[in-house]
């Protein structure tokens, strides 16, 4: 009789246990353990994939040939930027995002635009016809690209040997299946093993591999942390589905800065790169309206002007509501408490809604002053001067705190035609204010801001 070897895996964090557990001892989640078949005793044990691995031996550090850190362009400036300047040979890149956000579109676009190397696009989710149709929408010239619909890694490695691509895209890691393990595709043990096979392939052949990964409901990469430490780079694709804008963020990068960010716009012909984000994030307004303030923020190394909109209204029922889109609600509550205490602003009976234009979310502390100004403006129902923008953090005692890279923020504000920028007094130190045309005003307390805005 064949004996089946099984093990239990937490579907949230990947922890393994010999028996079922109600609560995961590693991540504390309940009811996440699932039994997975690892190996049947009658099936021959295969220990390695199909490609040959080179023999290893310890080497002295200076003996090791210097890898060419040379970067290849992916044909997309925004993607190159998040990758830290382009594609590195032999790197394994995970692209995560919610279903329907545009991961397949982006990867197919890169496949079609890649110059000078053959790309193999392996899809386990769509048929060849579907991919062709999508490619027609995106449009392509004369790419050297092959499409393969296959999920078994052993047969994928065979095809890799014949096609000899210079880059591989796998859409998605959750559909891959290896013969070594018998559990179903998408289970923790399959994801772990197939990703490890792809990692070995990338490292031994020097061919860069993109893995597309789905994100679970609560925003984690499915098959989660186990993948993050295995890959060189983790990119996350995000955006509000109701808006056309998509942001690709770097969460981890072994070959560059992890705070980079690229912006795309989803059109009917695929993703268009957005090279000047400030222009799209500032909504076109003709008249002065109250409750709108512009912040000069930095995402990664990129300055962006972002519009914040606040609505303060009398609470109709009991507990007032506080609601944020694109901003941290706890931070809003803190700023409201500061306003209440320092400016004598009675917000206890008011509903406060806050919205960041363009459906993006930001966590730059330099947003604080703009958020406070937008709330004050809406509360007083007095529009702010359209030509003022803000860049400062607000502390608990109502002090206006300095933020980093102030020169870049000022330069971006000036470039977009703002006449005045409010920053922290501490940021004025060593700043050559006569270099700019824009008026730079340093403030140290929230109360002062009130005076400047509503004189």
Q: Which of 17, 280 has the CB closer to ligand TYD?
A: 280
- Residue 311 · residue 353 · CB < 8 Å: yes
Site for ligand TYD in 249-268 (CB under 6 A): 266, 268
Q: Which of 104, 278 has the CB closer to Mg ion?
A: 104
CA dihedral 350, 355, 361, 367 (to 10 degrees): -70
Q: Residue 385 CB: number of other CB atoms within 10 A?
A: 12
Residues 6+ apart with CB under 8 A from 301: 257, 259, 260
What is the closest distance, in whole angstroms, from the C-beta atom of residue 112 to ligand TYD in the complex? 11
d(CA 441, CA 159): 63
- Asked if 24 touches ligand TYD (CB under 6 A), the answer is no
**String of contacts with ligand TYD for each residue 73-92, x by CB under 6 A:** --------------------
- Which residue has the closest beta carbon to ligand TYD? 104
Question: Three-state DSSP class for 18?
Answer: coil
Chain Cα centroid distance, residue 44 = 42
Q: Using omega within 30 degrees of 0 as the cis cutoff, is the peptide bond preceding 35 cis?
A: no
- Asked if 103 touches ligand TYD (CB under 6 A), the answer is yes
Strand partners, 390: 295, 422
Q: Which of 104, 278 has the CB closer to ligand TYD?
A: 104
**Residue 134 binding target from ligand TYD, Mg ion, none, CB below 5 to 8 Å by type:** ligand TYD
List 165, 270, 303, 379, residue binding ligand TYD (CB under 6 A): 270
Q: Which of 269, 276 has the CB closer to ligand TYD?
A: 269
List 49, 102, 166, 239, residue binding ligand TYD (CB under 6 A): 102
Q: Which of 266, 367 has the CB closer to ligand TYD?
A: 266
The strand pair at 350-356 and 302-314 is best described as antiparallel
Q: How far is CA 305 from CA 293, 360, 391, in A?
A: 10, 12, 10
**Residue 87 binding target from ligand TYD, Mg ion, none, CB below 5 to 8 Å by type:** none
Q: Which of 215, 310 has the CB closer to ligand TYD?
A: 215
Sheet with 270-273: list strands edge to edge.
145-149, 119-123, 167-171, 209-214, 92-97, 233-238, 245-253, 261-267, 270-273
- Residue 421 · residue 388 · CB < 8 Å: yes
Q: How far is CA 74 from CA 104, 234, 280, 302, in A?
A: 15, 16, 24, 20
DSSP letters, 262-277, are EEEEEETTEEEE-S-H
Q: Which of 100, 417 has the CB closer to ligand TYD?
A: 100
**Residue 290 binding target from Mg ion, ligand TYD, none, CB below 5 to 8 Å by type:** none
Question: Three-state DSSP class for 431?
Answer: coil
- Asked if 178 touches ligand TYD (CB under 6 A), the answer is no
List 49, 84, 96, 97, residue binding ligand TYD (CB under 6 A): 97
List 99, 139, 219, 451, residue binding ligand TYD (CB under 6 A): 99
The tokens describing 155, both together, are 């047969």
- Asked if 100 touches ligand TYD (CB under 6 A), the answer is yes
What is the closest distance, in whole angstroms, from the C-beta atom of residue 237 to ligand TYD in the complex? 7
- Asked if 360 touches ligand TYD (CB under 6 A), the answer is no
List 92, 101, 173, 360, residue binding ligand TYD (CB under 6 A): 101
Site for ligand TYD in 116-155 (CB under 6 A): 134, 137-138
Report the interface residues with Mg ion, using CB under 5 A: 104
Q: Note the residues at the interface with ligand TYD (CB under 6 A).
A: 97, 99-105, 134, 137-138, 266, 268-270
């Amino acid at each position: 009789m064949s004996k089946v070897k099984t093990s239990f895996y937490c579907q949230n964090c990947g922890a393994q246990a010999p028996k079922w557990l109600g609560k995961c001892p590693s991540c504390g989640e309940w009811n996440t353990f699932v039994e997975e078949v690892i190996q049947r005793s009658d099936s021959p044990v295969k220990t390695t994939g199909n490609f040959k691995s080179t023999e290893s031996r310890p080497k002295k550090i200076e003996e090791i040939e210097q890898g060419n850190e040379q970067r290849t362009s992916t044909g997309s400036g925004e993607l190159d930027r998040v990758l830290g300047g382009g594609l590195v040979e032999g790197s394994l890149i995970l692209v995560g995002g919610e279903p329907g956000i545009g991961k397949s579109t982006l990867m197919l676009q890169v496949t079609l635009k890649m110059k000078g190397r053959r790309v193999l696009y392996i899809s386990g989710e769509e048929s060849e016809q579907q991919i062709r149709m999508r490619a027609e929408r995106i449009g392509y010239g004369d790419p050297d690209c092959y499409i393969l619909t296959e999920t078994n890694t052993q047969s994928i490695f065979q095809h890799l040997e014949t096609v000899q691509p210079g880059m591989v895209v796998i859409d998605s890691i959750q559909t891959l299946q290896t013969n070594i393990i018998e559990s179903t595709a998408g289970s923790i043990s399959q994801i772990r093993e197939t990703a490890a096979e792809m990692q070995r392939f990338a490292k031994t052949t020097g061919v860069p591999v993109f893995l597309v990964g789905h994100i679970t409901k609560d925003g984690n990469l499915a098959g989660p942390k186990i993948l993050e430490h295995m890959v060189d780079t983790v990119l996350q694709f995000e955006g509000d589905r109701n808006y056309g804008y998509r942001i690709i963020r770097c969460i981890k990068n072994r070959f560059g800065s992890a705070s980079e960010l690229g912006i795309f716009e989803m059109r009917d012909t695929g993703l268009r790169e957005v090279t000047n984000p400030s222009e799209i994030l500032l909504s076109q307004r003709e008249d002065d309206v109250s409750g709108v303030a512009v912040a000069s923020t930095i995402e990664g190394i990129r300055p962006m002007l972002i519009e914040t909109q606040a609505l303060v209204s009398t609470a109709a029922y009991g507990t007032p509501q506080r609601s944020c889109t694109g901003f941290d609600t706890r931070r809003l509550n803190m700023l409201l408490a500061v306003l209440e205490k320092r400016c004598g602003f009675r917000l206890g009976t008011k509903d406060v809604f806050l919205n960041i234009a363009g459906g993006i979310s930001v966590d730059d502390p330099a947003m604080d002053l703009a958020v406070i100004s937008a709330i004050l403006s809406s509360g007083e129902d007095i529009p702010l001067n359209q030509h003022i923008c803000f860049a400062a953090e607000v502390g608990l005692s109502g002090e206006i705190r300095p933020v980093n890279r102030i020169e870049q923020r000022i330069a971006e504000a000036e470039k977009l035609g703002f006449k005045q920028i409010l920053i922290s007094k501490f940021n004025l130190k060593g700043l050559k204010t006569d270099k700019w045309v824009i008026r730079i005003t340093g403030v140290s307390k929230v109360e002062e801001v009130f005076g400047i805005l509503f004189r």
